């Protein structure tokens, strides 16, 4: 059997633990084996095949593994609930002053009050939500 076939068998053999253990290093070694198979198919000697396998595998592990580890450790920032409403714009429906008022925020009517009690906003004016206090939006 030709050497490139053995390298492909090795790549498949390395792919099995990749699937079973979810360790990406096995996949990187399998890619190295495929690169060695290509080298063998192009007529490279056994020493060159081994060097290509080692270089490709080590390069992938050195470059891809830290990137994958960084992405695995970062949690996506998914903001939901009232936290997602902070910083959004709203339209004043009823005058908003220290005693309260109504705004339309994310398609819903919310009670609202200004952050600065001296401030007031008239109907139709656009405001920004800075926080949600219970069921009341605090706006500026």
At 123 the pLDDT is 94
Q: Which domains does the chain have, with CATH numbers?
A: 3-73 (no CATH), 82-139 (2.40.50.140)
pLDDT digits (tens, 9 = 90+) for 22-58: 788 899 999 999 999 999 999 999 999 999 999 999 9
Q: What is the mean pLDDT of the chain?
A: 92
The model's pTM is 0.53
Which residues, including other chains, have CB under 8 Å from residue 133's CB and lie 6 or more apart?
113
Q: How far apart are CA 42 and CA 74, in angstroms?
A: 42
């Amino acid at each position: 059997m030709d050497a490139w076939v053995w390298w492909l068998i090795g790549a498949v053999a390395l792919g099995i633990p990749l699937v079973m253990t979810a360790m990406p290093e096995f996949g990187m070694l399998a890619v190295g084996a495929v690169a060695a198979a290509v080298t063998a198919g192009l007529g490279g000697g056994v020493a060159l095949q081994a060097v290509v396998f080692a270089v490709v595998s080590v390069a992938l592990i050195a470059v891809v593994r830290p990137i994958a580890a960084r992405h695995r450790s970062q949690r996506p920032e998914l903001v939901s609930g009232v936290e997602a409403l902070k910083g959004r714009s709203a339209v004043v429906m009823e005058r908003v002053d220290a005693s309260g008022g109504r705004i339309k925020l994310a398609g819903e009517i919310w009670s609202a009050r200004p952050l600065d009690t001296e401030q007031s906003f008239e109907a139709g004016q656009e405001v920004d939500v800075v926080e949600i206090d219970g069921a009341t939006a605090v706006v500026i």
